[in-house]
Amino acid sequence: MTLPRFFCPIPIENNSIIALPATVAHHAGRALRLREGDRIVLFNGKGGEYEGILRFNKGEALAEIDCFRDTNRDLSTKITLVQALASGDKMDWIIEKAVEMGVSQFIPIQAERSVLQLSGARLEKRQLHWQSIIQSASEQCGRNTLMTLTPVVALKDCFVFLQDTLKLVADPEAAQSLTTVLSEQKPHSLSFFIGPEGGWSSKEINTIVQQDALAIRFGERILRTETAGIALVSASASLLNLI
């Protein structure tokens, strides 16, 4: 039986007793109805996971840590998803699935044709919401290092986060397929550029290509923005034997 896992953003050491943050304590005691003596797993996003026993003392939830496992379940190839902002709750879904698929870095882009426009307090609130999704998805899928979420940036400003990586953008008329490119290059790091519902503008395509991105074919069908990135990551992980 899989033990309950909790993201616990505090220092954790093996063979120690720690007080659980209020949010973790509430989730364990109220939402999951765990009891004194139940075993739980904690991780703080820095790598590895800690197993221990749940204790309660005068209304305070504690974890008696007695085991550390240096395992992270990351892909050996770093994959970055450069995702144009999508409308509605699509971004939530994309971020959740990106975590599950093993994406290392997620860069949200305010594209020219993005229906969703964010700024000020609304942007700050949305970034915090996305970070919470990353933490919850990591709890569920077993990742012990958190996917990096960058600030929302314009396309031209995202390349500072993309040093020494193979950059790929899907194009149904491209000469090379995803399979061909990955089999020939065997990259240690790659990035996918995913446009919004209306696609990248011609200006944005030029910006991407000028940064040495390769256009690749991926199937015969046009995928929605919420499908494309996850499908490309999944296919790449399989082709590179990362799963």
Going from N- to C-terminal start, the domains of the chain cover 5-69, 78-239
So what's the pLDDT on residue 195?
Answer: 93
- What is the average per-residue pLDDT within 44-72? 93
141 in helix, strand or coil? helix
Residue-wise pLDDT tens digits, 140-162: 999 999 999 999 999 999 999 99
- What is the average per-residue pLDDT within 109-126? 88
- What is the average per-residue pLDDT within 221-235? 93
Second CATH level (architecture) for the domain 5-69: Beta Barrel (2.40)
Query: Which percentage of the chain shows pLDDT scores above 70?
Result: 99
Task: Sort 122 into a burial class: Cβ within 10 Å, 0-12 / 13-18 / 19+.
Answer: exposed
Measured CA to CA, the distance from residue 235 to residue 97 in angstroms comes to: 14
Second CATH level (architecture) for the domain 78-239: 3-Layer(aba) Sandwich (3.40)
CA angle 186, 189, 192 (to 5 degrees): 100
Closest CA to 145 of 80, 74, 81, 79: 74
